[in-house]
Amino acid sequence: MRILVIDTCLGACQVGLFDGARRVVAASEAMVRGHQERLAPMAAELMAEAGARFDKLDRIAVTVGPGSFTGLRVGLAFAEGLQLAIGAPLAGIGTLEALAASAGGQGLRAGVIDARRGQVYWQGFDGDRPIAQPEAAPAHDAAQALATCAPQGWRLVGPGASLLAPFGLGEAIELAAPGLQALGRLALAATPSAELRPLYLRAPDAQPIAS
């Protein structure tokens, strides 16, 4: 099964082509802005490098959030446009799940993203099994919720891991974005959906000015 994986939710623009769980070719470029300009050329370059065709893809997988409001919309719009063009099934991957999976191995893991203003997006897992729903919460509240599940032994993974490090839950692993190998594995296991929705855990900071 040939799967194209797309991730633009956090601090990188990432594309990977997988044959089942085997990574054929992949690219990741660190960026906070500019995903919209870079994503399509990156995907085209990768497919050309692999000698692959978009219309031969068996699945398209894309991270759906939480993350940057602009970034996740860019990735989702590109994936949906490609799906309309070639007809390959489309599947979504949660960003927090992908971060937690990037730690590898089993045991207690939590995806953690800095949501600004003292808050984090977080979700806990025991191996691949979620033991909490994705949430936005103050760092102290997130740490308390994780400690209620297990007081220690966590691997906190993502661009918000350091915010929970002072609470003594376990190892903090700072990652700007999910690992591509983890994304490929989750993409293979994901269930395609007729309609993907971005996962927003709170309203955007920028709000329209009332007239």
What is the tens place of the pLDDT at every residue in 136-165?
Answer: 999 999 999 999 999 999 999 999 999 999
Q: Say if residues 131 and 148 touch (Cβ distance below 8 Å).
A: no
CATH class of 2-95+177-189: alpha beta
Q: What angle do CA 19, 123, 203 make, to 5 degrees?
A: 100
- Residue-averaged pLDDT of the chain: 94
* Strands of 20-158, DSSP E: 22-30, 59-63, 90-93, 108-116, 119-126, 129-130, 135-138, 154-157
- In 3D space, the residue among 70, 69, 64, 135 whose CA is nearest the CA of residue 93 turns out to be 64
Q: In this model, does residue 20 exceed pLDDT 80? A: yes
Measured in degrees and rounded to the nearest 5, phi and psi for residue 107 equal 90, -170
pLDDT at 66: 97
In the chain, domain spans: 2-95+177-189, 103-173
CATH class of 103-173: alpha beta
Q: Say if residues 171 and 154 touch (Cβ distance below 8 Å).
A: yes
How far is residue 155's CA from residue 69's CA, in Å, rounded to a whole number? 26
Q: Do domains 2-95+177-189 and 103-173 have the same CATH topology?
A: yes
**pTM recorded for the entire structure:** 0.93
First to last CA, the chain: 52
| pLDDT (tens digit per residue) in 67-89 | 999 999 999 999 999 999 999 99
How far is residue 146's CA from residue 19's CA, in Å, rounded to a whole number? 36
